[in-house]
Amino acid sequence: MSQGFDDLLAANAEYAANFTEGGFDGIARAGVAIITCMDSRIEPLQLLGLGLGDAKIMRTPGGRITPDALVGCILGVHLLNVQRIMVVPHTRCAMASGDDAAIADKVLEATGVDIHGMVLGSSPDQRAGLSYDVRRLRTHPLLQDNRVEIGGFLYDVDTGRLTQVL
């Protein structure tokens, strides 16, 4: 059974009591958008030496460019000062542990619910998936001009090291 949200709301009350970061306009001050995995081992701002308000952060399973992440990139570039897009999957990612069918099998085994018809976006060949996603962004008609630089990176969850792949 759930413990509710009281602990999180109490932590937020402490955070809000000392909050001094109000008044931001929502523009990415460092001109960066980061698409990374929803994995709790990743703190995208910290690993790049950035702070609140510096970047647009989008999290997806596996750090893949989903339709919503693509929309976020387009809006970020054209409305929110994004000049650099970083696609950042990571080592030891569950979404790289098999194809969609294998991951759906795990969900079925754990829950009894069949999600085999759902597109999960897994990529057992992580570098191929990263290459596909970066190419998809670089060739999108709304991202092709010289106003945005797009790179593919791999974050190592065991060392904290970020390596540029593309």
22-35 confidence digits (pLDDT tens): 988 999 999 999 99
Which residues have C-beta within 8 Å of that of residue 149, sequence separation ≥ 6? 83, 84, 85
Provide the angle, in degrees to the nearest 10, between the axes of the packed helices 126-138 and 67-79. 40
Q: What is the pLDDT of residue 2?
A: 66
Q: What pTM was computed for the model? A: 0.93
97-150 confidence digits (pLDDT tens): 989 999 999 999 999 999 999 999 998 999 999 999 999 999 999 998 778 999
The annotated binding site is made up of 37, 39, 90, 93
Q: Per-domain residue ranges for the chain? A: 23-162
Fold of 23-162: Beta-carbonic Anhydrase; Chain A (3.40.1050)
The annotated binding site for Zn(2+) is made up of 37, 39, 90, 93
Find how far residue 104's CA is from the centre of its chain. Answer: 21
